[in-house]
A and B are shown apart, each in its own frame.
Chain A
Amino acid sequence: KAGVTQTPRYLIKTRGQQVTLSCSPISGHRSVSWYQQTPGQGLQFLFEYFSETQRNKGNFPGRFSGRQFSNSRSEMNVSTLELGDSALYLCASSGLEGSPLHFGNGTRLTVT
Chain B
Amino acid sequence: KNEVEQSPQNLTAQEGEFITINCSYSVGISALHWLQQHPGGGIVSLFMLSSGKKKHGRLIATINIQEKHSSLHITASHPRDSAVYICAVPRAGNQFYFGTGTSLTVIP
A interface with B by C-beta (< 8 Å)? 31, 33, 37, 42-45, 48, 50, 55-56, 58, 88, 90, 92, 94, 97-106, 108
**Mostly helix, strand, loop or mixed at chain B's interface?**
strand
How far is B96's CA from A101's CA once the two chains are assembled, in angstroms? Answer: 11
Contacting pair B95 A33 (CB below 8 A): yes
Q: Which of B43, B92, B99, B100 lies in contact with A103, CB distance below 8 A? A: B43
Within 8 Å CB of A48, what residues of B? 93-95
Q: Tell me the count of chain B residues lying within 8 A, CB to CB, of chain A.
A: 24
| Cβ of B31 under 8 Å from chain A | yes
Contact in complex: A45, B96 (CB < 8 Å): yes
B42 touches A104 (CB 8 A): yes
Q: How many A-B residue pairs have CB under 8 A?
A: 63
Are the C-beta atoms of B95 and A58 separated by less than 8 Å? yes
From A42, A105, A108, give the contact of B98 (CB < 8 A): A42
**Taking each of B31, B44, B91, B93, which has the highest tally of chain A beta carbons within 10 Å of its own beta carbon?**
B93
Q: Given contact pairs A43-B88, A94-B94, enumerate 14 new A-B contacts (beta carbons under 8 Å).
A: A33-B94, A42-B101, A48-B94, A58-B95, A88-B41, A92-B43, A97-B93, A98-B30, A100-B48, A101-B33, A101-B35, A101-B45, A102-B45, A103-B43
Query: Is A90 touching B43 in the complex (CB atoms < 8 A)?
Result: yes
User: Distance (Å) between the CB of B89 and the closest chain A CB?
Assistant: 12
State whether the Cβ of B57 lies closer than 8 Å to any Cβ in chain A. no
For residue B86, CB closer than 8 A to chain A, the reply is yes
| CB closest residue in chain A, given B101 | A42
How far, in angstroms, from A90 to B96 measured CA to CA in the complex?
A: 13
A43-B86, A98-B31, A100-B48 known; A31-B40 Cβ under 8 A: no
Contacts of B96 in A (CB 8 A): 43, 45
Q: Mark B35-56, 1 if CB is under 8 A from A, else 0.
A: 1000011111100100000000
Which of A33, A42, A106 is in CB contact (< 8 Å) with B100?
A42
- In the complex, are the beta carbons of B42 and A100 less than 8 A apart? no
**What is the bound-complex CA distance between A99 and B48, given in angstroms?**
8
Minimum C-beta distance from B23 to chain A (A): 13
- Shortest CB-to-CB span from B103 to chain A, Å, is 11
